[in-house]
Amino acid sequence: MVGSSTLQTFARTDGADRLIAAQEPLAGLHARCGGELPGEIIAPALREVVQMAREYGLRLARRLRMADDREVFSMWVEVEPEGEGCQVAISNWRSEGAPPSSVSGDEHRIAMARHMAGLSARLGPRQELLAIEHHDADLAGLARAMTAGVGRPWTDFVALEGNVHQQPLHWRLLDGARLRVAGLPQLWTAHLMPLGGGDPGSGGFELLLVSDSVPPATAKPAPALEQRLNGIDRKIAPVLRQPVSRIIANAETIRSQLSGPLADEYTGYAADITAAGEHLLALIDDLTTLEMIDDDSFAPAPDQIDLADVARRAAGILGMRASERQIAVDAPKHGESVPAIGEFRRVLQILLNLLGNAIRYSPEGSSIWLRAESEGGLASITVADQGEGLSAEEIARVFTKFERLGRSDDGGSGLGLYISRRLAEAMGGTLTVESAKGQGARFTLSLPADEAATS
Amino acid sequence: MSGDSPCTPSIDQVEDVMRFELARGDALLASAQPVLSHLLTSGDQVQFGDEIIARIRGMANHAARQLLDAVAEADDTLDRDALLARHAEALAEAILGDGGFLSHAHALALEIHWADKLHHRCGLDAVLTPFLQELAASPDGEIASAAMHVMAAQARFVQQQRRMELALGELPGDLFHRLLLAMRGCDELPEPAGEQAEAHLRSTFDEAKGRAGHMARLLLALGHKADRALAIDHAGLALFASALALASGLSREHAIYALGENQLARLALALRAAGLPQSALEAQFLLLHPEITLPPGFDGLSAERAAALLTLAQD
């Protein structure tokens, strides 16, 4: 069709927007799509413009796209109302090939229809019924009738909306057609997918009926036990903590050989019991906190605090553990002050978690920096380490519940960062991380700045 | 002179009036807050600037005047000024109440705003662009004449916009139809002049003769060479917008919205969907938004994916 820009194609439509005369290449396209002359306009875009021009009595001119089974064409279409129908003039007829985007759009539509279908059926090449399955109880009757009538055209069993002349219609006219099912109030839409290679439909069709009215939402009763799954009941925690504490205390007594000398292996075992007990205790604490912060009524008690001071305290508490691994912790200098609004205990808990992680996962002899600053209404404290850092994919997971990033050592429960972030958010702040593999990690806790104390 | 003379409204009536006014005031106040918060947070000073609002109002007033002029012309005995005084304001209000008209006029106002800005920034004329000059001199008679039509239509459009006007013939057919319906809705329009005017307006309307129609026609006649219109500095903003719409599948209005400061993603995706390579895409961004850099990795996005993203966003 190259060079056909000056060529004009003419066509006429009647008062019911049916095509009554058409020149090539429109006539060919119309026939390939299963249209008849005279007959309904198959291309939806053209049908719409012709209908609008006739109803409004306006001369319209548009760029349109029409497609047959293999190709998409674009063209310039001018429609002029004349008598009862319209005169159509088409120029600049061009092939655009088969656009991939429309194909994927169609796949999207088919996937939706399959998901929503109340009834699906496999049809033969002449649209005769082969196999029927219903997914909507309302359509059980129709499915039964269809199953009894296998071999007949599917259109015999439904009432198509609109003026339908001869049956069975070309599948393109039926794809998207609205219909009614005897005994049911709602309208249904038919989706027809041609199957088989070569000519579409040579391998039969897939038929889907989708209800136009949204099905009533089947409200699932919320499982009442949901909340219990998150953590551990606050009433149970003390009951658990007590015996665990006793185990730790007794193991500690054995390890320090208070009641007499012991073989080295046995002190080693006692030390293991202590460590395991402490881990268990920490886990109970984490689970209790988790239970508490996942509760909707959880609200921290905000106070005026100094982030630099909290950071210094956290560094003091974990200083021993850091020096055991020859890690230098660079806390904010004395006299430095970054006022913020938050709950002291919770902020300290977050910083202990961040600093504890940093110490645990940094190489021996490295440094960790704690930097507090205040900017634009936000006070923040950053914990930066020289560890191996996190990949983008790990960053995406690091704040999720029970996430240990593949670490299997007995370091923690995988709840620390999740709890820290929830606590930060509960205090109106954020907890974020910047990192890249091999470049260390920077965890930043931001809280609302204490404007009153700053100014 | 007693208090209950027939001319004085009863206290109940007064209360009714006051109640109605209070309710109206409440409704206005209730709508003020979302509008204000939107204006303050939209981040684009241009999109709802005074100039844009004034232009939209001007276009609606002009559309109303043209409709009423047609009525006056249908019947010589009618007094045009009286007709305008009686109906123009209400009709303009009704037109402004049409969401479709608002978006169309808004897009045109933004288009002329951007065209002016580009003229100041890099001396690009809104009418006589290098591309149009070249096409007007084309040996292909059809293209040369289509280019001349576009140039004339664009010159008319720019002139009208300078007067904050919008010719009815420039509207898309469905909007034109809705404006005629709005005119039908006028109270006590003299008949049969109103009906005759509508019939006359319908019969003379021709979408192909509008500026958008001429531009689409020219671009289609150019075929593959239409890609060259996807350079603002070469083709001018008007033809660029039409070419972007044709190539990316956006409506022309959305193509113009995409030029705005808070629609950078839409612009980038539309340009990519239109098949522009990275360097050409960056050149267009440099013209429109010199301060913006594209997100890293954007050059890896294919035209098909960009088109799919745009289509999904419009659903």
User: Which of B205, B220, B304 is facing A92, going by the closest CB pair?
Assistant: B220
Cα distance from N-terminal residue to C-terminal residue, chain A = 76
How high is the pLDDT of residue A39? 84
| A76 bridge partner residues | A63, A91
Q: How confident is the model at residue A110 (pLDDT cuts 50, 70, 90)?
A: confident
Candidates A2, A5, A6, partner chain B, best to mutate (most B CBs within 10 A): A5
Instruction: Give counts: helices (H), strands (E), chain B.
Output: 15, 0
What are the φ and ψ backbone dihedral angles of B38, each rounded to 5 degrees?
Answer: -65, -45
Of A142-156, A157-171, A207-221, A369-383, the range with the lowest mean pLDDT is A207-221
Angle between helices B303-314 and A100-116 in degrees, nearest 10: 50
Distance CA B46, CA B51 (A): 8
Sheet with A129-134: strands ordered across? A129-134, A119-123, A205-211, A187-194, A178-180, A159-160
Distance CA B239, CA B136 (A): 14
CATH superfamily of A303-454: Histidine kinase-like ATPase, C-terminal domain (3.30.565.10)
* CATH label, A7-95, candidates 3.30.70.330, 3.30.450.20, 3.30.9.10, 1.10.3720.10: 3.30.450.20
How high is the pLDDT of residue A227? 43
Reference A309, options A277, A351, A249, A275; nearest CA is: A351
Residues of B in contact with A62 (CB under 8 A): 207, 216
Going through A263-317 in order, the beta strands assigned E by DSSP cover 303-306
Predicted ipTM? Answer: 0.72
The dotted CATH code for A107-211 is 3.30.450
Answer whether A5 sits within 8 Å of B307, measured CB to CB. no
What is the percent of chain A with per-residue pLDDT over 90, rounded to a whole number?
10
Answer whether B220 sits within 8 Å of A78, measured CB to CB. no
Distance CA A254, CA B134 (A): 97
Distance CA A44, CA A172 (A): 10
Residues of A in contact with B308 (CB under 8 A): 101, 104-105
Cα distance from N-terminal residue to C-terminal residue, chain B = 68
What is the percent of chain A with per-residue pLDDT over 70, rounded to a whole number?
85
* Chain B residue at shortest CA distance from A95: B223
Q: pLDDT per residue over A226-242, tens digit each?
A: 444 455 666 677 777 77
| A80 bridge partner residues | A87
Reference B271, options B285, B292, B253, B261; nearest CA is: B285
Distance CA A217, CA B152 (A): 57
- Which residue type occupies A411? G
Of A82-86, A146-150, A385-389, B38-42, the range with the lowest mean pLDDT is B38-42
Q: pLDDT per residue over A286-299, tens digit each?
A: 777 777 777 766 77
Q: How confident is the model at residue A224 (pLDDT cuts 50, 70, 90)?
A: very low
Digitized pLDDT (tens) for each residue of chain B, 315 residues in all: 444 455 677 888 888 877 877 777 777 777 766 666 666 665 566 666 778 888 899 999 999 999 999 999 888 888 888 888 889 888 999 999 888 899 999 999 989 988 888 888 888 888 888 898 899 888 888 889 999 999 999 999 998 888 888 999 999 999 999 999 999 888 888 888 889 999 999 999 999 899 999 999 899 888 888 888 888 888 889 999 999 998 888 889 988 988 887 778 888 888 888 888 888 888 888 888 878 777 777 777 788 888 888 777 665
Q: Are A149 and A14 in contact (CB under 8 A)?
A: no
Please indicate if any CB of chain B lies within 8 Å of the CB of A187: no
Q: How confident is the model at residue A97 (pLDDT cuts 50, 70, 90)?
A: confident
On the question of pLDDT at A455 being above 80, the answer is no
Answer whether A105 sits within 8 Å of B176, measured CB to CB. no
Reference B178, options B26, B63, B304; nearest CA is: B63
* Chain A residue at shortest CA distance from B310: A101
| Length of chain A as a residue count | 455
As a whole number, mean pLDDT of residues A10-35 equals 85
Q: Are A146 and A121 in contact (CB under 8 A)?
A: yes
Which range in A192-206, A213-227, A434-448, B295-309 is most confidently predicted, on average pLDDT? A434-448
The model carries a pTM of 0.52
Measured CA distances, A342 to A272, A292, A305, A384, A416 (Å): 37, 17, 6, 22, 18
CB-hemisphere CA count at 13 Å for B218?
33
Contacts of A206 (CB under 8 A, 6+ apart): A120, A121, A122, A123, A192, A193, A195
On the question of pLDDT at A154 being above 80, the answer is yes
Q: Collapsing DSSP states into helix, strand and coil, what is residue A446?
A: strand
Contacts of A1 (CB under 8 A, 6+ apart): A25, A73, A93, A94, A95
